[in-house]
């Protein structure tokens, strides 16, 4: 697969070239510039969610940069495209830590990208606040600069299996995408399902994106009550579509990676009725999020995708922390900001945000939702069938 390495290298070069352009001529003004960066996939199959993260954070920066500007700082927002690829994320991170003005990173979408990238941020104690990375490893490394406003897969997987049991499913079949995120959450689902006495008929990983026939054939023959796909919608949607079209009658379920209107755009009526767990509720159930949704629609002309609200809160936390660190009058350092993030208490639009010693939210929300319509515009109307607020597990399970 040398060709794919060549492709990655070329991709990185292109990103570097693009990233270098806007950094043209910084104008010194007052006390200097403070930059907030985002990293999320802005191109490729997961761009819908990644774009939402960028825009959510951008909205927060524009809304809450006032106090810092009054102190004499120029506040800038710098989005990076990690393409949902670990190598691109890491090389972006190196550019980010080289830019001394960047004091916080909001990102990433994919745990598999966030974990290696955060190793780079850690070198300089640059605060990372993740809106979407649910893999336990993200915070279980106990880095002082890594935080997240979303929930964890070891809880999300269990929420899923508990719900599956509640649906009276006796047999389940588990597929995952072999990424730290997808495989991780699928393993938590499987292990807990077994514990609860469900019969796990199969557990398969696949990187396939188009032809799922050979996986569906043995699965269909065993006729499970429920099929769980640990992964992201760009792979899950064609899988579920082909399964239904091949006559699979099982119930479908997935983790928060399925939570995008693109799921129904791709799979259409085949996924109506499917369940998915989420650590990000639709903005409609978050009472304070209405203003956010209105602002978002007004500014960007579309509905916020899942995680846009989380990114908004993450960026708000970052700005509050920088403000706190800048209070003394001296320019805040990256260490100061990382320390300050852990002290922030914020009534965010996704609920009260306060981090524990690992960087997890003291209480995160988990939801089980059901796809309601095959119209992508109505994704936000998906019904919540279960809602829970759960604290992170005290002793961490295996990653």
Partner 1 sequence: MDGSLLLGILPQVLLDGLILGFMYALIALGYTMVYGVLEFINFAHSEIFIVGAFVGVEILLGLKSAGALDALPWPLLLLLVLLAGMAASGVLAVTVERIAYRPLRQAPRLIPLISAIGISFFLQDAIRLFESLWRNAFNLVYPTMDALNVRFELTSTIDVSVKSLVVIVAALAMLAVLHLLVNRTKVGAAIRAVAEDQAAASLMGINVNRIISLTFLIGGAMGGAAGVLFGVQYGLINPYTGFIPGLKAFTAAVLGGIGNIPGAMVGGLVLGLLEAFAASYLSLLTGGAFGAEYKDIFAFSVLIIILIFRPKGLLGEVVRGRA
The answer for residues whose C-beta is within 8 angstroms of residue 21's C-beta and 6 or more apart is none
Give CA–CA dist 349/295, Å, rounded. 13
Q: Which stretch binds partner 1 (CB under 8 A): 70-78, 130-138, 160-168, 264-272?
A: 264-272
Give CA–CA dist 134/139, Å, rounded. 9
10 lines the binding site for partner 1 (CB under 8 A):
yes
DSSP string, 274-305: -EEEESS--GGGSTTHHHHHHHHHHHHSSPPP
Give CA–CA dist 174/28, Å, rounded. 55
3 lines the binding site for partner 1 (CB under 8 A):
yes
CA 274, 158, 241: angle at the middle one, nearest 5? 25
The CB-of-214 to partner 1 minimum distance in angstroms stands at 3
The CB-of-143 to partner 1 minimum distance in angstroms stands at 31
Binding track over 62-81 against partner 1, x by CB under 8 A? --------------------
47 lines the binding site for partner 1 (CB under 8 A):
yes
The CB-of-378 to partner 1 minimum distance in angstroms stands at 17
263 lines the binding site for partner 1 (CB under 8 A):
no
Of the candidates 358, 353, 352, 363, the residue with the CA atom closest to the CA atom of residue 395: 358
* Local structure of 249: helix, strand or coil: coil
9 lines the binding site for partner 1 (CB under 8 A):
no
By beta-carbon proximity to partner 1, the closer residue of 234 and 259 is: 234
Q: Which stretch binds partner 1 (CB under 8 A): 41-49, 90-98, 361-369, 377-385?
A: 41-49
43 lines the binding site for partner 1 (CB under 8 A):
yes
Q: Which stretch binds partner 1 (CB under 8 A): 39-47, 113-121, 250-258, 307-315?
A: 39-47
By beta-carbon proximity to partner 1, the closer residue of 241 and 361 is: 241
Footprint (CB under 8 A) of partner 1, residues 143-182: 178
249 lines the binding site for partner 1 (CB under 8 A):
no
On whether the CB atoms of residues 254 and 228 are closer than 8 A, the answer is: yes
**Which residue in the set 202, 324, 380, 393 belongs to the binding site for partner 1 (CB under 8 A)?**
202
Give the burial class of 20: count Cβ atoms within 10 A of its Cβ; 0-12 exposed, 13-18 middle, 19 or more buried. exposed
DSSP string, 331-388: PPPHHHHHHHHHH--EEETTEEE-B-TTS-BSSEEEEEEE---S-GGGGGGPEEEEEE
By beta-carbon proximity to partner 1, the closer residue of 247 and 287 is: 247
Q: 387: which 2 tokens?
A: 């809602």
By beta-carbon proximity to partner 1, the closer residue of 215 and 314 is: 215
Q: Which stretch binds partner 1 (CB under 8 A): 161-169, 200-208, 277-285, 361-369?
A: 200-208
**Which residue in the set 8, 71, 171, 203 belongs to the binding site for partner 1 (CB under 8 A)?**
203
* Local structure of 136: helix, strand or coil: coil
On whether the CB atoms of residues 131 and 114 are closer than 8 A, the answer is: no
Give CA–CA dist 233/219, Å, rounded. 20
The answer for residues whose C-beta is within 8 angstroms of residue 25's C-beta and 6 or more apart is none
By beta-carbon proximity to partner 1, the closer residue of 29 and 211 is: 211
Residue that has been written with the tokens 């290298």 in this structure:
9
Footprint (CB under 8 A) of partner 1, residues 209-238: 209-211, 213-215, 217-218, 220-222, 234, 237-238
**Which residue in the set 6, 18, 385, 389 belongs to the binding site for partner 1 (CB under 8 A)?**
6
The CB-of-179 to partner 1 minimum distance in angstroms stands at 12
* Local structure of 172: helix, strand or coil: strand
For binding to partner 1 (CB under 8 A), which residues are involved? 3-4, 6-7, 10, 43-45, 47, 178, 202-211, 213-215, 217-218, 220-222, 234, 237-238, 241-242, 245-247, 262, 265-266, 268
């Amino acid at each position: 697969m040398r060709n794919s390495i060549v492709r990655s290298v070329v991709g990185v070069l292109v990103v570097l070239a693009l990233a270098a352009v806007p950094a043209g001529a910084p104008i010194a003004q007052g006390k200097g510039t403070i930059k907030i960066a985002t990293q999320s996939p802005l191109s490729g199959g997961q761009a819908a969610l990644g774009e939402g993260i960028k825009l959510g954070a951008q909205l927060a920066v524009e809304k809450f940069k006032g106090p810092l500007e009054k102190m004499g700082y120029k506040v800038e927002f710098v989005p990076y495209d990690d393409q949902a690829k670990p190598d691109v994320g890491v090389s972006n991170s190196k550019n980010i830590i080289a830019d001394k003005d960047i004091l916080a990173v909001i990102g990433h979408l994919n745990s598999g990208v966030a974990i290696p990238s955060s190793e780079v941020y850690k070198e300089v104690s640059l605060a990372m606040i993740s809106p979407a990375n649910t893999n336990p490893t993200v915070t279980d490394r106990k880095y002082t600069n890594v935080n997240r406003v979303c929930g964890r897969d070891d809880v999300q997987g269990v929420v899923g299996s508990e719900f599956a049991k509640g649906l009276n499913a006796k047999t389940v079949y588990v597929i995952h995408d072999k990424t730290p995120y997808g495989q991780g959450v699928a393993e938590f689902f499987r292990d807990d399902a077994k514990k609860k006495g469900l019969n796990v008929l199969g557990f398969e990983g696949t990187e396939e994106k188009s032809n799922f026939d050979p996986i569906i054939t043995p699965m269909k023959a065993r006729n499970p009550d429920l099929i769980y796909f640990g992964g992201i919608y760009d792979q899950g949607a064609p899988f579920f579509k082909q399964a239904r079209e091949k006559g699979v009658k099982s119930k479908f379920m997935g983790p928060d990676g399925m939570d995008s209107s693109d799921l129904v755009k791709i799979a259409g009526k085949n996924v109506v009725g499917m369940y998915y767990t989420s650590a990000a509720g639709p903005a409609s159930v978050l009472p304070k999020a209405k203003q956010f949704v209105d602002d978002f629609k007004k500014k960007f002309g579309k509905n916020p995708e899942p995680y846009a609200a989380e990114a908004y809160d993450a960026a708000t936390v970052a700005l509050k922390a920088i403000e706190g660190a800048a209070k003394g009058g001296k320019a805040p350092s990256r260490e100061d900001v990382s320390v300050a993030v852990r002290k922030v208490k914020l009534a965010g639009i996704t609920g009260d945000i306060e981090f524990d010693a690992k960087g997890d939210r003291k209480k995160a929300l988990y939801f089980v939702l059901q796809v309601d319509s095959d119209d992508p515009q109505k994704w936000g109307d998906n019904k919540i069938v279960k809602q829970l607020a759960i604290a992170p597990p005290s002793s961490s399970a295996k990653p």
